[in-house]
Amino acid sequence: MKHSLKSIFLGSLAVLAFACKTEEAAKPAERPNIIFIMSDDHAYQAISAYDNTLIETPNIDRIAKMGMLFTNASVTNSICAPSRATILTGKHSHINGKVDNHFPFDTTNVTFPQILQDAGYQTAMFGKLHFGNSPKGFDQFKILPGQGVYYNPDFITKNEGKIKVEGYVTDIITDMTLDWLQNERKADQPFMLMYLHKAPHREWLPAERHVEEFTNRSFKEPATLFDDYSGRGRAAHEAEMNLLTDMHWGGDSKVYPEVMDELGIPENSSWDKAALTGELNRMTESQRANWDKAYMKVNEDFKKAYPTMTEKDKMKWRYQRYMQDYLGTIKAVDENVGRVLDYLEANDLMENTIIVYTSDQGFYLGEHGWFDKRFVYNESFKTPLLMAWPNRVKAGTKSDEMVQNLDFAQTFLEAAGIEAPADMQGESLLPLLTGETDKWTREAVYYHYYEYPSIHMVKRHYAIITQEYKMVHYYFDSDEWELIDRKKDPNEMTNVYDDPAYAEIKAKLHKQLDGLREKYGDSSELSQDYIDKYLDNLEKNKYSTGGKDTGLIDKIFEDRKKK
């Protein structure tokens, strides 16, 4: 299949080349370049093109100004490596096999970079992949091992083995990207470049130049910071993502271990303090001195305030600390995106380059009292998406259509003039990008999250989402349905599944959901296979789930033994 496609493609290239002999302007090089910029856990609430309450991101916003802002982009499974696998394969998790962060990506999958490379694109990847193996289909790559670290990170490289680079991760990934554009890019080939930030992933360590500024800022609280989950079922109650009860005092809030000891604050997990010291120990002396200057003050102030703080005060304090660090890391992402855009402009590469800015999923910035992702609720189901292509996309446009990370592969292949493999499951975004909106017919999207029991303890669930409703089934150690009226209840506080007023809507959504599961090839049997594989692996490797000792995990394994 791949080869016949390739020959069709090369055939048409030859025709094109022949035709071009007489017409100077049309060159095969006119296939667009692609720069896919993705950050890790970047919430749309923290991009000023969407909302400038928290931070200004003038450089990321430039992409929307030049092109299109998608206000309803989402992921099919809100977690890191599965999202990346869906992007690369154009297939849902249950088909490409990468359903959670645990097992390595199955490299027998065909990915869009492999297809582009076969068709004559020069390909490169810099930054975070998180697959447990190296990417296929790339002429060059330098990737972080696993999650990577913020200061003086290691990289796995295609040509130099493992290297350690001094500096700040976001700057380094950008330096590598610019170096490749400047010194390795071949002028006679179109390129596809994946520029993938680690930031703003936990534990949110800002760059040296931003530490002072951000530890002194304060931010507006979200309306649902003190959510008690009363309108929803067990899943929201049992999740471990609450700022007050589930964050690390050390790793996340940057309270120094000796201060935790002095105040008698216990570790929130076995790696609470280590999560901080691991990063601090990698710093050079001068990086550490700069860090301490700002964070000693944070610790001193906290030491004074802590004895009289109520639980509510602590929540408020944790929210501010969280936002200072999280948004501090985004400041560096924005500056560095600006460096890349400037380079493209200065080197006449802007016009025929598709520029994408997105995240592997959204993130909670205190909404529902949470951090992290995983749930199909808006903040983590949706993801930022800004796309420019000056030659083809009208500047300053907006789309509210329900596009997904599932759609990238087919979009890029179509833009490159290549027919996508028939088993890809997304849809090309080109009609939306080029104003042919009547060609876009999608009314509902499908979602499925798997990683449970695991850190943050978000239950397995699948869902159908339309512009108006969201209907979710939590399964495995629960069997609960949730129906959210997205228009009437934008903060998603109330489950109306059992409200008789929604009986008809519910029936219609069930039918649609069955249809989606059939269309995409998902089923309860398949889910059961993934559960068995996951639990076998946990047991065999005596692997800690990272979940808290609440009895829930023991019960899951006891119930399993009984069966």
Residues forming contacts to ligand SGN in the complex (CB under 6 A) are 40-41, 79-80, 101, 130, 147, 201-203, 251, 275, 372, 455-456
Decide if residue 227 touches Ca ion (CB under 5 A).
Answer: no
Helices and strands (DSSP H and E) totals, the chain: 19, 14
Least Å distance, CB 360 to Ca ion, is: 4
Q: Is the peptide bond before 200 cis (omega within 30 degrees of 0)?
A: yes
Write down the least CB distance from residue 201 to ligand SGN, Å.
6
To Ca ion, the closest distance from the beta carbon of 397 in angstroms equals 27
243 belongs to the binding site for Ca ion (CB under 5 A): no
**CB-nearest residue to ligand SGN:** 80
Cα-based angle 340, 171, 192 (whole degrees, multiple of 5): 40
Per CB under 5 A, 372 contacts Ca ion: no
- Residue pair 279/151 in contact (Cβ under 8 Å)? The answer is yes
CB atoms within 10 A of CB 232: 21
Compare residues 62 and 460 and give the one whose CB is closer to ligand SGN.
460
Torsion sign across C-alpha atoms 499, 503, 508, 513: positive
Q: Which is nearer to ligand SGN, 40 or 482 (CB)?
A: 40
Within 62-101, the residues that bind Ca ion by CB under 5 A are 80
Q: How far is Cα 336 from Cα 320, in angstroms, rounded to an integer?
A: 25
H helical segments located in 230-284: 234-238, 243-246, 257-263, 272-280
Q: Contact, 70 vs 405, CB < 8 A?
A: no
Site for Ca ion in 207-226 (CB under 5 A): none
Which of Ca ion, ligand SGN, none has residue 456 at its interface (CB below 5 to 8 Å by kind)?
A: ligand SGN
CA dihedral 538, 539, 544, 550 (to 10 degrees): 110
Q: How far is the CB of 251 from ligand SGN (least distance, A)?
A: 6
Sign of CA dihedral 221, 225, 231, 232: positive
Token pair for 234 = 């067990």
Q: Which does 202 bind (CB under 5 to 8 A by kind): ligand SGN, Ca ion, none?
A: ligand SGN
Q: Kindly tell me which residue out of 360, 379, 477, 485 binds Ca ion, with binding defined by CB under 5 A.
A: 360
- To ligand SGN, the closest distance from the beta carbon of 403 in angstroms equals 21
Q: Is 39 helix (H, G, I), strand (E, B) or coil?
A: strand
**Closer residue to ligand SGN (CB): 441 or 541:** 541
**Residue 352 binds which of Ca ion, ligand SGN, none (CB < 5-8 A, kind-dependent):** none
Determine which residue in the list 32, 35, 37, 40 makes contact with Ca ion, applying CB under 5 A. 40
Which residue number, 40 or 240, has a Cβ lying nearer to Ca ion?
Answer: 40
**Nearest by Cα to 119 from 57, 48, 19, 190:** 190
Run of H or E residues at 66 = helix 58-66
Residue 11 tokens, joined: 């055939």
Q: How far is the CB of 132 from Ca ion (least distance, A)?
A: 15
Q: Which is nearer to Ca ion, 89 or 114 (CB)?
A: 89
Which CB sits closer to ligand SGN, 224 or 380?
380
Element (H, E) at 388: strand 385-388
- Least CB distance to Ca ion at residue 144 (A): 13
> Rounded to whole angstroms, how far apart are CA atoms 197 and 175?
12
Q: Which amino acid is at 490?
A: P
Q: Give the residue with the Cβ less far from ligand SGN, 131 or 168.
A: 131
Q: Which partner from the list ligand SGN, Ca ion, none does 101 bind, CB cut-off 5 to 8 Å by kind?
A: ligand SGN
State which residue, 139 or 379, has the beta carbon closest to Ca ion: 379
Residue 273 interacts with which of Ca ion, ligand SGN, none, CB < 5 to 8 Å by class: none
16/149 with CB nearer ligand SGN:
149
259 binds, among ligand SGN, Ca ion, none (CB under 5 to 8 A by kind): none
Dig out the tokens for 186 from the structure: 């071949």
* Alpha helix positions (H), 137-252: 169-183, 208-215, 234-238, 243-246
Nearest to 31 by CA among 192, 183, 172: 192
330 binds Ca ion (CB under 5 A): no
Residue nearest to Ca ion (CB): 80
- Give the residues lining the site for Ca ion (CB under 5 A): 40-41, 80, 360
